[in-house]
Amino acid sequence: MNMAAAEQAANLACLREELSARGVDAFCIPRADEYLGEYIPAHNERLQWLTGFTGSAGMAVVMATDAAIFTDGRYTVQVRRQVDGEQYQYRRLIEEPPLLWLKETLASGSKVLIDPRLCTLDWYQQAQRVLGDADIEIVLSTDNPIDRCWATRPEPLIAEALLLEEAFTGEHSLQKRERLGRSIAEQGADAALVFAPDSVSWLLNVRGKDVPRLPVLLSCAVLEANGDVHLLVDERRVPQGFHEHTGPGVSVVPENDAARLLESFAGKVVLADPLSANAWSQLSLERGGATLFAGEDPVLLPKACKNDVEIAGALEAHRRDAVAEIRFLAWLDSELAQGRYHDEALLSDRLGALRAEGEHFHELSFDSISASAANGAMCHYNHLDNTPAKLVPDSLYLVDSGGQYSDGTTDITRTIATGTPTQEMRELFTLVLKGHIALDSARFPAGTTGTHLDALARQFLWQTGRDYDHGTGHGVGAFLSVHEGPQRIAKAWNATALAPGMIVSNEPGYYRDGAFGIRCENLCVVREANTNASEVPMLEFLALTLVPFDQRLIDSSLLNAAERSWVDAYHSRVREEILERLEHSEDREWLIAATRPLS
């Protein structure tokens, strides 16, 4: 047994002792903390501590003599590399939900421990129904047993919030709060639980340094219909000048007083989202005598629809980001030409350092996916989890990366030929690119959702019997989360209509296990389409990302005339907007060559 497996076994044994002492038969450990975000601070990485799994979504279920880890299709390969198969069964999160597995595995009369801070109210209610049908009891406790076993648990990172100027946000916090307060009242509620830290940060025009890659203030809030806000936060995170920045009507409540605040809304109707806010906060409201009104976080849609200032900032942030990416790609081609096949870590660090030179840069928007050859077949590969691999001659290198800037969040994937690609690689890349072009070129009526458009990006892969096991596009914030809802482009139904100002990714891909990965990703913004003949309002996408696609991987014979025109027009725009921003002649020469018209 290697050290990682031995450590997993020891952690599992400690947890089982704790569960036995509490008289429960099973415990659910989601990859989540009390804020239920995708990115969580190190001191809340409970699933990673227990199992070694570092993916962004998953759940472990531990019983006295058995355990299982549930992950989705993005992590099929990764979970087997990181989690000891002797200790855990590997299960599929979507096809075989943990609650159904528990129902089928546990005996009648068993007890399942759940931490209500780490699940949504909707999931908890599902657990009540599913497990209740099998006469299985749920035991709720915020005294998480992992915290009692985790002797080396890191201390929370405490950093003062950043006060983001109106030159970046385009609207004062007081205006936002009053506007959303009116919408809360129109829905018949007295207040709303604004649970997600990115929603709170957007509402108050603040950002934070509490979570790597996610510039949010770790907090939640209650927004009243008159625009007043009760902010639940560690007071050490509140900087000098905070109240002057936010304007009147914002009170700071220590986190330890969360239950008291929530229970003070007796007799009030409180809007809360059972799909995104944790169960504990909503159960606390009910316990205090509030009436819960189920509805979407009122901040979600306004935050997703960027205003003119935010869109202008995103365009400028992407231009600066393109300079870094192009400088990196030019350098990489030069290194490869000289036979220097660097490892994934060096490449990631080089790209990150170039981004850091850009104005208004804060940090990366996620851990860069710097993936050589077969590692590119893992959609969310992280070279930090293993010994970084070197580039492989005549193969592919996939680099998915982005930055957090005061005026925008970026996310781009480019697939690069490391020498002479095979004809099959070129054909597959071109099929993926054709899907990217089809989605980028779409015009669609108001009311269209991302689900309606998803097949546009997959159609050419489908025609050859291929597909990819991830969504085609996710929302992106304005100096906030690189994965922002409520909109997305995916097979799974999404009810949110795409609307002007929404930023989404366009990232079809293809992955061959053990060989290589391909992904073509740009960010784009939804805007009104200028079509004089339209009988209904039409929308379209404008690409924000301005970096060439590797023409060595494009088989022009597979493109029709419109697709070839799209590639040439996109590359012409890249050249026009970025060329003069490049300081070094070798970078300018590379860009001119990389954006030449297709032959």
Helix (H) or strand (E) holding 403: strand 403-405
pLDDT tier for residue 224 given thresholds of 50, 70 and 90: very high
pLDDT tier for residue 530 given thresholds of 50, 70 and 90: confident
- Please report, rounded to a whole number, the percentage of residues in the chain having pLDDT higher than 70: 99
109 vs 157, which has greater pLDDT?
109
**Of 437, 435, 394, nearest in space to 417 by CA:** 394
Q: Where is the domain boundary, 303, 326, 360?
A: 303
* Overall domain count for the chain: 3
Burial class of residue 43 (count of CB atoms within 10 Å of its CB; 0-12, 13-18, 19+): middle
Judged against a pLDDT cut of 60, whether residue 208 lies above it is answered with yes
Q: CA 344, CA 132: separation in Å to the nearest integer?
A: 49
**Of 349, 371, 363, nearest in space to 406 by CA:** 363
DSSP tag of 210:
S
Using one digit for the tens of pLDDT, what is the confidence trace for 236-273? 999 999 999 999 999 999 999 999 999 999 999 999 99
Q: Is residue 137 part of a domain?
A: yes
Predicted pLDDT of residue 38: 87
129: which residues sit within 8 A by CB, 6+ positions away?
none
Q: CA 496, CA 486: separation in Å to the nearest integer?
A: 6
Predicted pLDDT of residue 268: 98
Q: CA 371, CA 392: separation in Å to the nearest integer?
A: 11
Using one digit for the tens of pLDDT, what is the confidence trace for 378-390? 888 889 877 899 9
DSSP tag of 134:
T
User: Do 314 and 297 belong together in one domain?
Assistant: no
Report the DSSP pairing between strands 361-364 and 403-405: antiparallel
Q: Where is the domain boundary, 303, 325, 351?
A: 303
Q: CA 550, CA 176: separation in Å to the nearest integer?
A: 43
Q: Is residue 155 part of a domain?
A: no
**Of 319, 461, 479, 300, nearest in space to 405 by CA:** 479
What is the maximum span of the chain, computed from C-alpha positions, in angstroms? 73
Using one digit for the tens of pLDDT, what is the confidence trace for 423-437? 999 999 999 999 999
Given the structure tokens 């492989």, which residue do they identify?
392
Judged against a pLDDT cut of 80, whether residue 74 lies above it is answered with no
Q: CA 461, CA 463: separation in Å to the nearest integer?
A: 5
Ordered DSSP codes for 454-499: HHHHHHHHHHTT---SS-SEEE--SSS-SSEEEEEESSS---PBP-
Backbone angles phi, psi at 528, to 5 degrees: -70, 140
Q: Is residue 210 part of a domain?
A: yes
Q: Two tokens at 521?
A: 């990703």
Predicted pLDDT of residue 66: 94
User: Do 477 and 329 belong together in one domain?
Assistant: yes
* CATH number where 53 lies: 3.40.350.10
Q: CA 498, CA 485: separation in Å to the nearest integer?
A: 11
User: Do 331 and 288 belong together in one domain?
Assistant: no
Q: Is residue 143 part of a domain?
A: yes
Cis before 486 (ω within 30): yes
User: Do 104 and 81 belong together in one domain?
Assistant: yes
User: Do 490 and 563 belong together in one domain?
Assistant: yes
Q: Where is the domain boundary, 283, 303, 323?
A: 303
Predicted pLDDT of residue 2: 47
Contact 216, 480 (CB under 8 A): yes
Q: Is residue 258 part of a domain?
A: yes
The domain of 400 spans 305-594
User: Do 471 and 581 belong together in one domain?
Assistant: yes
Judged against a pLDDT cut of 70, whether residue 26 lies above it is answered with yes
Judged against a pLDDT cut of 60, whether residue 28 lies above it is answered with yes
- Give the lowest-confidence range in 94-103, 151-160, 529-538: 529-538
Using one digit for the tens of pLDDT, what is the confidence trace for 421-470? 999 999 999 999 999 999 999 999 999 999 999 999 999 999 999 999 99
Burial class of residue 266 (count of CB atoms within 10 Å of its CB; 0-12, 13-18, 19+): exposed
Q: Is residue 313 part of a domain?
A: yes
Q: Please compute the mean of the pLDDT values over residues 127-132 and round it to a whole number.
A: 97
Using one digit for the tens of pLDDT, what is the confidence trace for 31-73? 999 999 888 999 999 999 999 999 889 999 999 999 999 998 7
User: Do 546 and 445 belong together in one domain?
Assistant: yes
Ordered DSSP codes for 501-567: T-EEEE--EEEETTTEEEE-BEEEEEEE---TT-SS-EEEEEE-------GGG--GGGS-HHHHHHH
Contact 194, 221 (CB under 8 A): yes
pTM as predicted = 0.94
Q: Is residue 156 part of a domain?
A: no
Q: CA 560, CA 566: separation in Å to the nearest integer?
A: 10
Using one digit for the tens of pLDDT, what is the confidence trace for 509-520? 999 999 999 999
Calculate the CA dihedral of residues 239, 241, 247, 249 and round it to 10 degrees: 50
Q: CA 33, CA 46: separation in Å to the nearest integer?
A: 8
Predicted pLDDT of residue 1: 37
520: which residues sit within 8 A by CB, 6+ positions away?
413, 414, 415, 429, 432, 433, 436, 506, 507, 508, 509, 549
Predicted pLDDT of residue 533: 75
Q: Is residue 157 part of a domain?
A: no
Using one digit for the tens of pLDDT, what is the confidence trace for 176-198? 999 999 999 999 999 999 999 99
User: Do 144 and 279 belong together in one domain?
Assistant: no
Residue 180: alpha-carbon gap to chain centroid:
25
The residue ranges of DSSP E strands in 124-268, in sequence order, are 137-140, 162-163, 191-194, 206-207, 220-224, 229-233, 250-254
Judged against a pLDDT cut of 70, whether residue 3 lies above it is answered with no
User: Do 528 and 405 belong together in one domain?
Assistant: yes
User: Do 332 and 441 belong together in one domain?
Assistant: yes
User: Do 262 and 116 belong together in one domain?
Assistant: no
**Of 170, 196, 193, 191, nearest in space to 181 by CA:** 191
Q: What is the CA radius of gyration of the chain?
A: 25
Backbone angles phi, psi at 486, to 5 degrees: -90, -10
User: Do 583 and 466 belong together in one domain?
Assistant: yes
Using one digit for the tens of pLDDT, what is the confidence trace for 403-420? 999 999 999 999 999 999
Contact 267, 290 (CB under 8 A): yes
* CATH number where 360 lies: 3.90.230.10
- Please report, rounded to a whole number, the percentage of residues in the chain having pLDDT higher than 90: 92
Length of the chain: 599
Judged against a pLDDT cut of 60, whether residue 284 lies above it is answered with yes
